[in-house]
Amino acid sequence: MGDGAGIGPEVIVPALLHPETLRDCRPVVIGDAERLRQAAAIRGIDCAVVPVDSADDAQFGPDRVNVIDLGLLPADLPWGRLSPVAGDAAYHYVRVAAELAVGGEVQGICTAPLNKAALHAAGHNFPGHTELLAHLTGVDEVSMMLSTPRVKVIHVTTHIGLLDAVRLIEPGLVERTVRRGHEAMERAGTARPVIGVCGINPHAGENGLFGYGEEEEKIIPALEALRADGIDARGPLPADTAFFLASRGDYDLIVAMYHDQGHGPVKVLGIEAGVNLTVGLPVIRTSVDHGTAFDIAGTGVAEAGSMVEALRQAAEMSSSPAR
């Protein structure tokens, strides 16, 4: 359910009742039943929020929301305010979801947004869902992929400072990231994905004019190894044109070297229907491509489209052959 003080509950209720969601999957919320009831009332939605003991106990219908109710939130939790209580609850929602997925009781995880400051205030020192899920599932390295109808991007580095990101990037990490992206695209139905790999410097270094040879040292060896294995990875590309080319169909996937290089263009091109995927986990995980939006939480105006799309993609990938 994400952070209960944010817009997560308000986008979950309409998304779970959406005809496309009910067509594609059997969704069960890990969260707080009373908070979901409050969210339904705020949005003017007449539905039954029904606590269940397990996913197998859930029954499905057009006016029913099933929830494994952890009961961690006080009834008077304020909307739109940072709360260590909500941060702790968000951690446990993810923990239980990961346990159910690893145990095969659910086939995929779809997350509403959590608040990093609230998570840290509760004593859970993870940068976000991606790193938390990697920890909970015992995986050393995963990648964040953002998916919109116009462009998809996977990140070599994410929640670290820019100087640290440049230091961390090396051919092995670039190669592993591209391979994870290639596998995810094939799993989603793209038989031979064309992958554009961004450079680090402006104009991808302009043949050594910008930077200190980072493209030649850190990226090109990875591209050579990938192409030798038959993966269509092209670059290094100037990031200021790569996303435009991808949006018109030249590339199926763009590889960004650091957080803002990938996030900025994606959010301009399609945040309303954007989805965040964690690739490299032993379980399927998708998420909305927006934050907790404390400024509008509790007002009933949050758009549920990203959650509907995240649920659709989780269902689509969960029904694909195992990796």
What are the DSSP calls for 28-69, one per residue? EEEE-HHHHHHHHHHHT---EEEE-SSGGG----TTEEEEEE
Q: Are residues 95 and 214 in the same domain?
A: no
Q: Are residues 10 and 36 in the same domain?
A: yes
The per-residue pLDDT for range 162-212, each reduced to its tens digit, is: 999 999 999 999 999 999 999 989 887 899 999 999 999 999 988 888 999
Residue where the block lists tokens 């990231």: 177
User: Residue 130: its pLDDT value, please?
Assistant: 84
User: Residue 208: its pLDDT value, please?
Assistant: 85
> Does the structure show a pLDDT above 70 at 16?
yes
> Taking the alpha carbons of 22, 28, 30, 35 in that order, is the dihedral positive or negative?
positive
Backbone angles phi, psi at 92, to 5 degrees: -70, -30
Domain of residue 44: give its range.
1-139+281-323
CATH classification at residue 165: 3.40.718.10
User: Residue 322: its pLDDT value, please?
Assistant: 39
Identify the domain boundary among 229, 250, 272. Answer: 272
User: Residue 153: its pLDDT value, please?
Assistant: 95
Q: Are residues 76 and 95 in the same domain?
A: yes
**Mean pLDDT of the 38-67 span:** 96
Distance from C-alpha of 254 to C-alpha of 247, rounded to nearest angstrom = 10
Residue 273's pLDDT band, with cuts at 50, 70 and 90, is low
- CA 161 vs CA 158, 172, 200, 203: distances in Å: 9, 20, 14, 21
> Does the structure show a pLDDT above 50 at 323?
no
Q: Are residues 3 and 64 in the same domain?
A: yes
Q: Are residues 162 and 257 in the same domain?
A: yes
Q: Are residues 78 and 170 in the same domain?
A: no
Q: Are residues 147 and 265 in the same domain?
A: yes
Q: Are residues 241 and 263 in the same domain?
A: yes
Q: Are residues 258 and 189 in the same domain?
A: yes
Q: Are residues 263 and 294 in the same domain?
A: no
User: Does residue 14 have a cis peptide bond before it, meaning omega lies within 30 degrees of 0?
Assistant: no
Identify the domain boundary among 255, 272, 289. Answer: 272
Residue 274's pLDDT band, with cuts at 50, 70 and 90, is confident
Predicted TM-score (pTM) of this structure = 0.82
Identify the domain boundary among 230, 245, 272. Answer: 272
Q: What is the mean pLDDT of the chain?
A: 93
Domain count for the chain:
2
Q: Are residues 57 and 96 in the same domain?
A: yes
Q: Are residues 13 and 34 in the same domain?
A: yes
The per-residue pLDDT for range 291-318, each reduced to its tens digit, is: 999 999 999 999 999 899 999 989 988 8
